[in-house]
A and B are shown apart, each in its own frame.
Chain A
Amino acid sequence: MTWEPQIAAFCCNWCGYAAADQAGAAKMEYPAGVKIVRLMCTGMMDPYYVLRAFERGFDGVLVVGCHVGSCHYKSGNLQAKEQLDRVDRVVRALGLGGRLAMTAASAAEGNVFADAARDFTEKVRKLGPNPLRQAVPA
């Protein structure tokens, strides 16, 4: 079985998740390894989720939120950026550098979501499988 990058995509309900919906509805395609977890806002992104995703074997973590200035809750995406910058230090020290990314795609930008999903999958493919992957007990 060839390895396909598995990406945990944390998407905010109003932008990222809606952009993913729009990408699907507009019949765009992106890799099936991208699995979306719906949050109300990227401000809900707890650094714990990032680490948990890696610990559970995801090869990459992508956070998709609203553009700066357009957050449905005013500044949730700004807090997300702060938290993710901080956790990225941990991620890099653990030898998983480059596997965490954050981007923005408004509800109307299905193409931006699809492009980000594709581009990030390729980026992670070059990094190889997550070294932490092991059989997780059922």
Chain B
Amino acid sequence: MTEAVVIPVGVSEPSAAPDAALRTLAQEGCIQCNKCTFACPVHRVDVLFSPRKVILQAYLGGGDDVTERDLWACLTCGECQAVCPTQVPYPAFIREKREKLRDVMDRAAPCKHGGFKDLVAEIMAKPNLMQDRRQWIGDGLKVADTGDTIYFTGCMPYLDGIFSYCDSAEIGRAAIRIMNAAGIVPVVSNLERCCGHDALWNGKRETFETLAKRNAKWIVDSGAKRLVTACAECYYMLKHEYPKVIGPWPLEVLHMSELIGELVKDGRLTFAKPVPLLVTYQDPCRLGRHAKEYDAPREVLQAIPGLTFVEMDRVRENSMCCGVGAYSNCDAQTKFMQQERLEEAASKADHMVTACPHCRIHFSCYLDGKPVDPLPPLKIVDLTVLAAQALG
């Protein structure tokens, strides 16, 4: 197949190269079948939003015709790509469009709290930062300055300063407790920066690359052999996006669920205490569709004694997004998406397990306010926290 066949209509000079985003699209080739639109959670709550239409406008308009709403409403969850017969990478397309159009189409207040989180990330990109990132750890937990295993905390030290709906530091404490129980004293470093997930997905490529380089430096210099994180977004970024910027890692990158599974299998970790809860599991977009890790969290849930685990109907590559992507699109429609997914979860269990602190924050934010329709009682619980409870 030659590129000449798919040069879009409307480009002024036939020999001019189409921009990166269009090229991404052009390489894969959308056939305008509309399956993406039917799979899209945003479309379900806003009929005017259609990924297929956006692609068509991009083709026809020479690449500059994405509206502000279309640019930012996309959750980049990837549900569209999962059903697309030609695997059009729509999230990547939107990401690149945001890079190009950010200066002229910056939403002044995307998710307000996300704006705050963005600013914290910008600050972390600056050179002369002397963070104190261990205040949340608390007594009885052991961490080190050097060692084989890095525990990457990401935005953990800052999340509770921004979001009051749930305790995010709890996840970190549980992770360290689990590792300590298995004889691991993880490195928690003050040199850590935000992984740059939101910066990348909101079009701030320069910020993302600055963060990536600063993180890569201390991680590589540390001499550690493995890096583990309890956040789905940090995991996806470190494992899949960082190598595109800094080259291949000299160490292994794992999600906490993978580490737990490994430790249980090796007998280094025992779940002594039953946790008699009825739970279901929310596949995070970044761990699931983007990083293709569906099994490790499920194996952890199966290993916890006393737990009754029931799957929702839409799981794995068909899992529904928590309604907010990269903290850039929480608006009047989001509550309907969250209601939809929580109703589904509540119909199966009274606890929803998340493997991403951001899913947890978004769902907790919704439950902390007023649901649009009455919901049966449902609690959101993090996978690592649940596992730590089973330690006894």
Residues of A within 8 A of B (CB): 47-48, 51-52, 54-55, 86-90, 92-95, 97, 131-134
Contact = CB atoms under 8 A, between A and B. Distances in A.
A55 B119 CA distance: 8
B119 A86 contact: no
The 5 residue pairs across chains A and B that have the minimum distance between CB atoms: A90-B161, A95-B130, A131-B128, A89-B161, A93-B157
A21 to B, nearest CB: 31
Interface in B98-131: 112, 115-116, 119-120, 122-124, 126-131
B164 A95 contact: no
A93 B211 CA distance: 17
A88 B161 CA distance: 8
A90 B122 CA distance: 14
Nearest to A55: B123
Given A86-B161, A89-B161, A93-B135, A134 B126 contact: yes
B373 interface: no
11 contacts: A48-B116, A86-B164, A87-B161, A89-B161, A92-B132, A92-B135, A93-B132, A95-B129, A95-B131, A131-B128, A132-B123
A52 B122 CA distance: 10
Given A92-B132, A93-B131, A51 B123 contact: yes
Contact of A47 (B116, B127, B132, B160): B116
Interface string B21-55: 00000000000000000000000000000000000
A134 B135 CA distance: 27
Contacts of A86: 160-162, 164
Nearest to B116: A48
Given A48-B119, A51-B120, A97-B132, A90 B162 contact: yes
A89 B116 CA distance: 14
B366 interface: no
Contacts of B119: 48, 51-52, 55
A54 B126 CA distance: 12
Interface residues of B, number: 23
Given A51-B120, A55-B119, A94 B162 contact: no
Nearest to A97: B132
A94 B129 contact: yes
A86 B159 CA distance: 10
Interface string B134-166: 010000000000000000000001101110100
A93 B127 CA distance: 16
Contacts of B298: none
Interface of B: 112, 115-116, 119-120, 122-124, 126-133, 135, 157-158, 160-162, 164
Contacts of A54: 123
B227 to A, nearest CB: 21
Contacts of B135: 89, 92-93
A87 B123 CA distance: 14
A44 to B, nearest CB: 14
A94 B120 contact: yes
Contacts of B161: 47, 86-90, 93
A131 B129 CA distance: 6
Contacts of A89: 135, 160-161
A5 to B, nearest CB: 17
Most buried by B among A87, A88, A89, A131: A89
A131 B123 CA distance: 10
A51 B116 contact: yes
Most chain B CB neighbours (cut-off 10 Å) among A54, A88, A92, A94: A94
Given A47-B161, A97-B132, 8 more contacts: A51-B120, A89-B161, A90-B120, A90-B161, A93-B131, A94-B120, A94-B132, A132-B128
